[in-house]
Amino acid sequence: ASFLLLCFRTSLATPLILGLLLQPPLTQLSIITQPNIVLLMADDLGIGDVGCYGNDTIRTPNIDRLAKEGVKLTQHIAAAPLCTPSRAAFLTGRYPLRSGMDAINNYRVIFWNGGSGGLPPNETTFAKILQQQGYSTGLIGKWHQGVNCESRNDHCHHPLNHGFDYFYGMPFTLISDCQPTETPEMDRVFRRKLWVYTQMIGLITLTAALGRLTGLISVRWKMLTCLAGFSLLFFVSWFSSYGFVRYWNCIMMRNHEVTEQPMVTDRTTSLILKESISFIERNKHKPFLLFLSFLHSHTPLLTTEKFLGRSSHGLYGDNVEEMDWMVGQVLDTIDKEGLKNTTLVYFASDHGGWLERQDGNRQLGGWNGIYRGGKAMGGWEGGIRVPGIFRWPGVLPAGTVIDEPTSLMDIYPTVAHLAGGVLPQDRVVDGRDLMPLLRGTVEHSEHEFLFHYCGVHLHAVRWHQKDSGAIWKAHYVTPVFRPLGAGACYDRGFCPCFGEGVTHHDPPLLFDLSRDPSEAKPLSADTEPLFDTVIRKIGRAVEEHRRTLTPVPEQLSFYNAVWKPWLQPCCGTFPFCWCDKEGDN
């Protein structure tokens, strides 16, 4: 009997032992402490521009490879439809208005390197948490979160003051003004008005002077001198900033040092790639965080000669394909250094593609697939739904697609927990740790509600009704598209958040994104039995959310937005700011 009992126990134990030995690597997360983290963020890339999200004409084999080898999110949402606020939310895991990084006016992004607004020093970024956990942290590429507060070299908003050990790239953002052959982009309409006012004042001054000389007008020379002085002062007051945008905004920095002023755009792409690869190679023996913040695919679409004319979508397509090649180079470096299985790679865009960015018949902005709207539109899906891909071989199941609502803000708690860090307890963190969802240990996202802002104005709210699978979306405010029937604000170049360019909805426009992801057919009390219930539920969520908001200094106020000569980064003696230290090297 004892022999039979022993055999029985052995027969039970053998498959158990074999099962433990043959467990897939998916369960081995606890063994890999502090993985390397590589965050790849495109600029202005539309969700419809990527092959694995449905584009069959722009070639993105390397981004597609990430999706094939990892997890693809189909409802990945930016916290804002523009660069500065979206990236602030990404870095802090908090809605941008919590840090003062969303605007009450039309200055919705950082406008000058010489402005005083930016990501407040008291905000804790994921880079700072990882730095405290012993990570080497690097940012290569675009920052666009401000530089200085009170003096030219205080660097209070600088990446090195926000947890990054190393920075190489643009403290600002790429704009057409950086390319001498391109039409100026920054504040184009306002700049045109200033030219007209200058010419009018100059014409009045000249007419008065000629009238005095010919005796046709009785005016004293003292008055003429004051008029001429005012005319000159007015011209200098705006031309000293807008006349030198390329020198003030289009600069490259390495840590605190300005290396190119203005930047030499022909070599920017190769230098950013070289710096990214070098950072990985230098830090391969200890945990590292690399945030590669691409300048692609923002206008003026800097594209090297090798990729020009390669795509069937003109310069924009060429630019996206070059960025995909850069992604491939980074992935190849990770493989070559034997880091693939110990590195979490993430790819996303900061917000949707810019529909209004055109030059004649040429489309210079991205495509947002089936989703309505685009960049600058706080509520419509096309402005905020972006690609989101994670790869970590052996930990995340390959070829997985997740349709649950997730946010760019979720990266913050996700990487903080992976690094063994602790989230700040003295503030609201809106992001949620994605690892349980990515690994398949939970079925649903932790987000029940997501709030979609345009500046500080709440435009829409998403409710994930988990028991039914419905994704309700209520729009309180929508932009007025012009011309009528168009899908964007082509008359303005950007859709506004408030004023005459928007429509307020009472009751709100309601959509069920699970049935109507294109937001084409608004529901009503007549067509949807749950209409009133859903609107009330979302309304209560808005009230609860607003109770969590506290007043903070407005980083994008008019005062903070304007150019201040004493804050302008300069590699010489101001105002003689010119250098090319990369060329010297």
Q: Which residues are catalytic?
A: 83, 144
Q: Quote the longest CA-to-CA distance of the chain.
A: 132
Distance CA 98, CA 284 (A): 36
Given the structure tokens 């057919």, which residue do they identify?
A: 521
CA distance 306 to 127: 34
Q: String of b and e for 417-426 (b: at least 16 CB within 10 Å)? A: ebbebebbee
Residue recorded with tokens 């997360």:
29
| Beta strands 343-349; 385-391: pairing state | antiparallel
Cis peptide before 507 (omega within 30 of 0): yes
CA-to-CA distance for 92 and 163, rounded, in angstroms? 11
* Contacts (Cβ under 8 Å, ≥6 apart) of 465: 471, 472
Q: Give the tokens for residue 437.
A: 């969802």
- Pairing state between β 166-170 and 136-142: parallel
The neighbouring-strand residues paired with 502 are 479
Joined tokens for residue 459: 């435009």
| 308-to-41, 358, 561 alpha-carbon distances in Å | 22, 18, 36
SS3 61: helix
For the CA atoms of 190, 196, 198, 203, the dihedral, rounded to the nearest 10 degrees, stands at -170
Burial class (CB in 10 A: 0-12, 13-18, 19+), 139: buried
Cβ 121 vs Cβ 157: under 8 Å = yes
The Cα 201–Cα 228 span in angstroms is 9
Q: What is the distance between the alpha carbons of residues 213 and 196, in angstroms, rounded to a whole number?
A: 26
Q: Where are the alpha helices (DSSP H) in 385-525?
A: 411-418, 435-439
- For residues 176 and 173, what is the distance between their CA atoms, to the nearest angstrom? 10
Write the CB contacts of 241 (distance below 8 Å, at least 6 apart in sequence).
Answer: 112, 114, 248, 563
* Contact assessment for residue 151 and residue 566, using Cβ atoms and an 8 Å cutoff: yes
The secondary structure of residue 399, as a DSSP letter, is T
- Rounded CA gap, 41 and 45, in Å? 9
In sequence order, which ranges of 253-388 are alpha helices (DSSP H)? 268-282, 314-336, 381-384
